[in-house]
Amino acid sequence: MTLKMTWYGHACFLIKTGKAKLLTDPFITGNPLSPVQANEVEADYILVSHGHGDHLGDTLDIAKRTGATVISNYEIQNWVVNQGLKNVHPQHIGGGFDYPWGRVKLTIAQHGSVLPDGTYGGNPCGFLFYIEGKKIYHACDTGLFYDMKLIGEEGIDLAILPIGDNFTMGPDDALRAIKLIEPIHAIPIHYDTFDIIKQDPHAWAHKVKEETSVKVTVMKPGDVFEL
Ligand code: NI
Ligand code: MN
């Protein structure tokens, strides 16, 4: 079955599997490029990579409205429970879990994770999805790290990588990440949302094409990628 992945900008994807709707890092309100409103977004599961506002985003509101289960590290899970959420599933770095729709494992990410009120948010993470025979690595916010090679050894169909620079990898390191991971497809994210992370994703895609055989898809917020 084809996975339909809608990009809502920044690090937010809605992944429609045959069994569930998965929403990653739902930064909708306050994202000038978001193609949707937080009160119309659907979700059965919300995955939160770290505590920063541009990733935690509208998690609380969307989870309260939809009843979606929040998947995140143990520290963020404690915090969202204290904010009134009941449907949660804590995991942590290196740990995977089999959900009715597939599996997700939390990977390392080189970044920070404090929550909006200053609460410690544990270690930030990326997501490695195993859904309907496909493997998707969503790096979320991270700098380049050599262990991406280990992630690549799993045989990645799609790598979702930040290219914005300043807070995360920039285009040059994202190209090095591509060479470590060797995915079939790649999608650049976490750029243009703010002036400080302005990038040319087409120039990056061109460079990837010149130096590797990885297929890059540059999306516009609201676009759907089928895998
Ligand atoms: Ni961040
Ligand atoms: Mn971010």
If you measure from the C-alpha of residue 163 to the centroid of ligand 1, how many angstroms do you get, rounded to a whole number? Answer: 13
pTM as predicted: 0.98
If you measure from the C-alpha of residue 24 to the centroid of ligand 2, how many angstroms do you get, rounded to a whole number? Answer: 12
Residue 190, pLDDT > 90, answer yes
Q: Class for domain 4-226, per CATH? A: alpha beta
If you measure from the C-alpha of residue 117 to the centroid of ligand 1, how many angstroms do you get, rounded to a whole number? Answer: 15
What's the whole-number mean pLDDT along residues 51-76?
A: 98
Ligand approaching nearest to the C-alpha of 10 = 2
If you measure from the C-alpha of residue 43 to the centroid of ligand 2, how many angstroms do you get, rounded to a whole number? Answer: 21
What's the whole-number mean pLDDT along residues 8-24?
A: 98
* Dihedral in degrees, nearest 10, Cα atoms 160, 165, 171, 176: -70
pLDDT, position 1: 81
* Chain segment 52-63, per-residue pLDDT in tens: 999 999 999 999
Look at residue 169 and give its three-state secondary structure: coil
Around ion ligand 2, residues with a beta carbon closer than 5 Å are 54, 141
